Amino acid sequence: MSWKIKEKYRQVLAKETGTVVQNWGGRLTVCLVYPNHYATGMSNLGFQAVYTLCNAFPYIVCERAFLPGPAEVKEYHKSGTRLLSLESQRPLTDFDVIAFSVSFENDYLNIPAVFQLAGIPPLAADRDDSLPLIIAGGAALFMNPEPVADFLDLVCVGEGEVILPKLLNLLRSREDVDRRVLLDEVAGLPGIYVPSRFGISYLQGHGAEIRSLVGLSSTVRRQWDNDIGSSVVASSLYAPDMEFSDMHLVEVSRGCPRGCRFCAAGFIYHPFRQRSLEVLKEEVVRGLQIQPRIGLVGAAVSDYRHLNELCRFVLEKGGKVSMSSLRIDSLDESLLDILHASGHKTVALAPEGGSQRLRDLIRKGITEEQILTACDIVIGGDILNLKLYFIIGLPTETHQDLEEMVSLVEKIRQRVIAAAKKNRRLGSIVLSVNPFVPKPFTPFQWCGMELCASLEKKYAFLRRAVGRLSNVKIQFESLREAFLQALLSRGDRRLAPFLVKAYQLGNWKRAAKELKLDMESLVTRTIPLDEILPWDVLNGGEREHLVREYERAFGLSVDRT
């Protein structure tokens, strides 16, 4: 092993608090892999939760691995070292199970890199019983695992708290069983998708036929924890060089009750569930012994029913509160006072639709008056810096919608300037503009993404329009990255060769060109409602609801008699 690599691992472990290095002692060994760098992975609460859950079983040893940075990858190749686990610095091939935790579709590109560095064939069909079982879970897999399905032996479809105990118990009890037999057995577990046990036939053009090859249902039903109230998910490991390094992260709720038509979180984590206030208070007390700030986590933190009381409790215990963004129609002065006392200099709000027509289309449920009132509350709470999230390229968007967005920003700016004159402190507005990306299991899953050339023109218009406004800055998400995300969100198993080739070439656009992959068609086309989608192999029980919401959004007939 290269001394540089060994020293890097030693330094990371030395910085961490809470790390447990266990003796393997004949137990089932799992290497939990985050296919991105350490700082990002360790800030992911879901990743930490699975790590903690696995190590809570007496018959499991769970260690971690992360994708090295470019400079480290060169050192791996130079020294001939295989990718190693962080805790015991063993090659991934020494483990019984390799478990990928994937939150974002763009990290699908990194999975072939992990296999290459580990010395493992990427395709499941090319691996034998001498190599680890490859499993995966995470939000990206809840939505559409098909682009990486050929890499995986099995996929956990749903929340780890309800899936992992049964799965790990079966794997532990059947360690000596032939892999073919083992996969037949695990395919019968709730929430377990075994891609090799499903036949996928692609029709000419678009669409597919899906069938089970082992006599089971042709779909796998997503699993969720129906009772999260008495439990808690929170940070268990800390290091100074990870994101949110000064925070103890605590999940207050799961899912979202709002049902915005573009957003997957409200559908793949449905129903909306909230944790017990008393349990969270206990966790706050524990967390403040380690970190000075409590980061509240959830897709809809503002909708947590005891939010103000929980935040006040944090302050009473000498801590500070952080949360990523606030729901516009649930903002009040009491909450702003708490954020101000916690040292917040900026508050993030998400109008998302630039015009009222678009906000109604996406079912955002807020008016311009509510947006302006929320801004007044923030500014009145002596927080003069605002971050506003907008989506462009939403279905049916016109230039008029963009002009209304600029008009809204101008109205908000006038309020910030007026407050600045009064307080003799100048605030600022930052616009975060992101293109619409169609997501599986949302009412807009059938809508295509707008052409990048058209989106670039909209970016240019907003640069000009906002550029003339003082104290307003604008940030744009990369169209290239958004396009890739849409491709992987909507793709099927035929993308596996593309992912391997993209890693080999170091350029995904070149890989698509060499494989003659029509990316634009996959990303931008509107899909007929009766077409079988790649992710229809998964079943969340909401398809009819999604169809109705799609039809309502665009004024189509909803008569099903």
Give mean pLDDT, residues 341-355.
94
pLDDT at 561 over 50: no
Q: Provide the pLDDT confidence category of residue 207 given band limits of 50, 70 and 90.
A: confident
What pLDDT sits at residue 351? 96
pLDDT, averaged across the chain: 93
What pTM value is reported for the model? 0.94
Secondary structure (H, E, C), 475-487: EECCHHHHHHHHH
pLDDT in tens, 530-542: 999 999 999 988 8
Average pLDDT over residues 163-168: 96
> DSSP H helical segments within 515-555, as ranges?
519-524, 543-553
Q: Which residue has the higher pLDDT, 557 or 549?
A: 549
Strands of 133-137's sheet in order across: 60-66, 28-34, 97-101, 133-137, 154-156, 192-193
β-pairing verdict for 346-352 and 385-392: parallel
- Give the tens place of pLDDT for each residue, 377-427: 998 888 889 999 999 999 999 999 999 999 999 999 999 888 877 777 778
Contact between residue 54 and residue 60 where contact means Cβ atoms under 8 Å apart:
yes
Residue 469 has pLDDT above 80, yes or no: yes
Q: How far is CA 224 from CA 152, 157, 163, 167, 470, in A?
A: 22, 9, 8, 15, 47
Q: What is the pLDDT of residue 22?
A: 83
Does position 376 have pLDDT exceeding 50, yes or no?
Answer: yes
Average pLDDT for 283-302: 96
pLDDT of residue 72: 86
Residue with the bigger pLDDT between 28 and 560: it is 28
- Whether 559 has a pLDDT exceeding 70, the answer reads no
- Please report how the helices 111-118 and 496-505 are oriented relative to each other, as an axis angle in degrees rounded to 10: 70
pLDDT in tens, 293-335: 999 999 999 999 999 999 999 999 999 999 988 899 988 889 9
pLDDT of residue 1: 60
Give the per-residue pLDDT at 560.
42
Task: Identify the helix (H) or strand (E) that includes residue 211.
Answer: strand 208-212
pLDDT value for 557: 57
Q: Where are the beta strands (DSSP E) in 327-447?
A: 346-352, 385-392, 429-435
pLDDT reported for residue 311: 97
Per DSSP, which regions of 372-471 are E strands?
Answer: 385-392, 429-435
Segment 174-204, tens digit of pLDDT: 878 899 999 999 999 999 999 999 999 988 7
Top pLDDT among 327 and 459 is at: 459
